[in-house]
Amino acid sequence: MSSIEKPSTVIGVDLDGVCGDFYGRMREIASEWFECPLDQLSREVSYGMTEWGVTGTNQYESLHRFAVTQRELFKTMRMIPGARKYLRMLSDEGYRIRIITHRLFIHYFHASAVQQTVEWLDSHGIPYWDLCFMKEKAQVGADIYLEDAPHNVTQLRERGLYTICFANSTNLHISSPRAASWNEVYDMVRDYRPQDHRVT
């Protein structure tokens, strides 16, 4: 083996809506929060969840705080099918998995958010080298980003960073590259060539 190893390709992976079914679990919690039947809340929701009756930032933060502190949102959401399988395959093939999440945007319960996140990752067997809690994901320094939030996808792409949009109802307006499943993510990551995505 050469004493100089080839650098690994770093994949910056979002959690909510990409690895974990954030909207599925939030729908259940919102049903309880608003005291309405689950089937009255659409499965097709936009970013901000106005379809469920969330009217603004303050109300969203109240719901989010309840979800994390009282219903362990980050620990109890289901895994999106394929996340474990294909991240493990990529990790085994030498890709470096860097989890990047902005789960600390509401003050005073960071410890719960971090603990639930680590427990969820470990209990689902999700492989990762690094775990980053930060808003400015471009500063993390990944080669490929996997993200579902529309504003994050747009911001990363505007900086010339190759970003795969993990498709869901919140990002229907976002252009390719898009992946509707983890199988598609795997193929797109394997096909990625840095020289094909240089900003000129």
User: Which of 76, 92, 117 is at the close of a domain?
Assistant: 76
Positions annotated as catalytic residues are 14, 16
Answer yes or no: is 41 within a domain: yes
What gap in Å lies between CA 19 and CA 146, rounded to an integer? 10
CB 9 within 8 A of CB 192: yes
Kindly report, residue by residue over 125-144, the tens digit of the pLDDT: 999 999 998 878 887 889 99
Say whether both 15 and 32 belong to one domain: no
pLDDT value, residue 104: 62
pLDDT value, residue 1: 39
End-to-end distance of the chain based on CA atoms, in angstroms? 36
Kindly report, residue by residue over 53-80, the tens digit of the pLDDT: 999 889 998 999 999 999 999 999 999 9
What is the average per-residue pLDDT within 104-108? Answer: 63
What is the average per-residue pLDDT within 71-95? Answer: 96
Answer yes or no: is 3 within a domain: no
Answer yes or no: is 60 within a domain: yes
Say whether both 187 and 148 belong to one domain: yes
Say whether both 126 and 185 belong to one domain: yes
Say whether both 143 and 154 belong to one domain: yes
pLDDT value, residue 191: 94
- Percent of the chain exceeding pLDDT 70 equals 90
**Integer angstrom CA distances of residue 148 from 69, 152, 154:** 24, 8, 10
Neighbouring C-beta atoms of residue 111, cutoff 10 Å: 8
What gap in Å lies between CA 146 and CA 181, rounded to an integer? 12
| Nearest partner of 79 among 183, 182, 200, 199, judged by Cα | 182
Residues of the domain holding 57: 24-76
Kindly report, residue by residue over 155-173, the tens digit of the pLDDT: 999 999 999 999 999 999 9
In this structure, which amino acid lies at residue 8?
Answer: S
CA-CA-CA-CA dihedral for 179, 184, 185, 188, to nearest 10? -100
